[in-house]
Amino acid sequence: MAFILKINKLLISPKTIISLIILTLLTCAIGFFVPQITDKSPSFFETWQEQNIYTYRFVTRLQLHQVYTSYWFLALVCLIAISLLSSIYAQIKKNLKYRLQCGIQNTEYRTQNIERIRNTLHKKRYREQGFTNDEDKLIFTKNSINRWGSVIFHAGLLLVVISAILVLSFRSRGFVQLIEGDTFDGKESGFIVKSRGALAGEYNAGFYTFLSKLDHTYWETGKLKHLESSLTIVENKEQADKKVSINNPLFIKGSNIYQSDDYGYTLSFVLKKLTGEEVVSHFNIDRASNVRKHAVGKTDYPLSPYIVEIKFLPDLEKKSFYLNKPIVYLNVSEGLRKVFSGLVIPGDTVKIKDTILHFTGVRYWSGLIFVKNPGMTIAYIGFVIVIIGLVIMFLLPYKEIHLSFDPVTKAYNIAGKTKKYEAIFNEELDEIRVEIEKEIGS
């Protein structure tokens, strides 16, 4: 028990708190200055390793190239959480014990002047607390809630830290390219890119998502203005039509569906072999960065020896991103040898050696992000509590005014104390004294 108390005392000591803040600051600085695996390609790290093996080893062994998912950063976050918890507990204990040593009523003080002073202070939102136990001073206080500000702020911060740990542990997230007219079964195997927290199970939305339409609009300059997917959510023979657009996610059955700004075109082909076998293939290519450029793609044609290279224009006539007059410049090669090169439009059929390639059509695909994030509600609650705590801490400083009366000199004495902005409070006290002097004329 004594050991736990000692640890607790250490965790809430000012030096520990300052050290934790500085360590977090240093971590962020490392994350900014040392190249991170999330920002750089694997080839960057391979080159680095070749050029400076010792620095690379140092960085990788300390996980400085992945600070925010490193074990030591996780340990630091846990330490911060424990320190916050200990600090909150200590402050609550202190606040509950705190009693203003006053409350006695003294009728001798019910003079006309005292009433005037009282009114002046009431107008300034000071609350009368009664006399001190030695009946010497009348106490007025303002913003008594202030002593809870720090507790509230740190409790909110603790919730945000807990939510971050939950997110790191249990969040699952994946990106899917859903083609118009196709359905995503909601399972992780359908994701092109995915990430999963250390303790998260395999993602399963528990419903099917059908993309009926992708709407996209642009500014005059060709910059994307709005992107919206019309979806049908199907679960247990029940279906509901929903829309999801950038900045307007869809929350459904524990999953969030986000509209990514990635989208493009799906070009469908059928390759007929001499044997009569048909190989259907859909090539997803990204939208070009501007209307004058081709959307490009290069891939192996499945179950064939061919490599297909595509240059695609969605609207040959008006040069827009809409599928008005789509046309493809198609290059097919077998190994290094080119076997076909030419322009094709939807419905065209071309003969390539002993096979026939049929360009069946073009549709849009929409990039959708599916996320299960159990920590978000806690984070949002934490955010609100943090702000409430800060407002109480810094905008509502605790103030105490002590009023005493000297029966011999018949003089009133006004003193006060505060824990924040003391010098400003002293100026306020001077103003109060002047105001009261005017009121009572002494």
Partner 1 sequence: MDNLQLLKYEVILHWIAVSIYVISTVFFAYSVSFKKTSPLNSGVIAAVIGLIPHAIAIAIRWNVSGHGPYMSKYEVLTSHSWVAIVMFLLIAWKIPKLKAAGVVILPLSFLMMTIGLFTNPDISLLGPTLSGVWLVIHVIFNKLSAGGIIIALASSVLYLLKNKNEQKEFYQKLPSLEVLDAYSYKFIGFAFIFWTITVVAGSIWANQAWGRYWGWDPIETWSIITWLLFGLYLHLRHFFKWKGIKAAWLLIVCFLSAIMSLYFIPFIIDTLHSSYFM
Q: Does 85 bind partner 1 (CB under 8 A)?
A: no
Q: Which stretch binds partner 1 (CB under 8 A): 75-83, 245-253, 342-350, 357-365?
A: 245-253
Q: Which stretch binds partner 1 (CB under 8 A): 57-65, 93-101, 367-375, 430-438?
A: 367-375
Q: Does 250 bind partner 1 (CB under 8 A)?
A: no
DSSP secondary structure letter of residue 293: S
Binding mask 149-188 for partner 1 (x = CB under 8 A): ---------------x--------x---------------
Contact between residue 420 and residue 400 where contact means Cβ atoms under 8 Å apart: no
What's the CA gap between 222 and 289, in Å, rounded?
9
Pick 66 or 113: Cβ nearer partner 1: 66
Rounded to whole angstroms, what are the CA distances from 184 to 8, 240, 242, 261? 51, 15, 15, 18
Q: Which of residues 111-130 bind partner 1 (CB under 8 A)?
A: none
Q: State the minimum distance, in angstroms, from the CB of residue 371 to partner 1.
A: 5
Q: Which stretch binds partner 1 (CB under 8 A): 87-95, 122-130, 292-300, 366-374?
A: 366-374
- Reduced to 3 states (helix: H, G, I; strand: E, B; else coil), residue 348 is coil
Q: Does 192 bind partner 1 (CB under 8 A)?
A: no
Q: Does 247 bind partner 1 (CB under 8 A)?
A: yes
What's the CA gap between 415 and 120, in Å, rounded?
15
Pick 100 or 391: Cβ nearer partner 1: 391
DSSP secondary structure letter of residue 404: E
Binding mask 19-58 for partner 1 (x = CB under 8 A): --xx-xx--xx-xx---x-x--------------------
Q: Does 243 bind partner 1 (CB under 8 A)?
A: no
Pick 157 or 310: Cβ nearer partner 1: 157
Pick 196 or 311: Cβ nearer partner 1: 196
Contact between residue 404 and residue 117 where contact means Cβ atoms under 8 Å apart: no
Q: Does 383 bind partner 1 (CB under 8 A)?
A: yes
Q: Which residues have a Cβ under 8 Å from the Cβ of 312 and sit 6 or more positions away?
A: 265, 267, 285, 294, 295, 296, 297, 326, 327, 328, 329, 362
Tokens 């490392």 belong to residue: 30
Q: Does 14 bind partner 1 (CB under 8 A)?
A: yes
- Long-range pairs for 272-276 at CB < 8 Å and ≥24 separation? 272/355, 272/356, 272/357, 272/358, 273/304, 273/354, 273/355, 274/354, 274/355
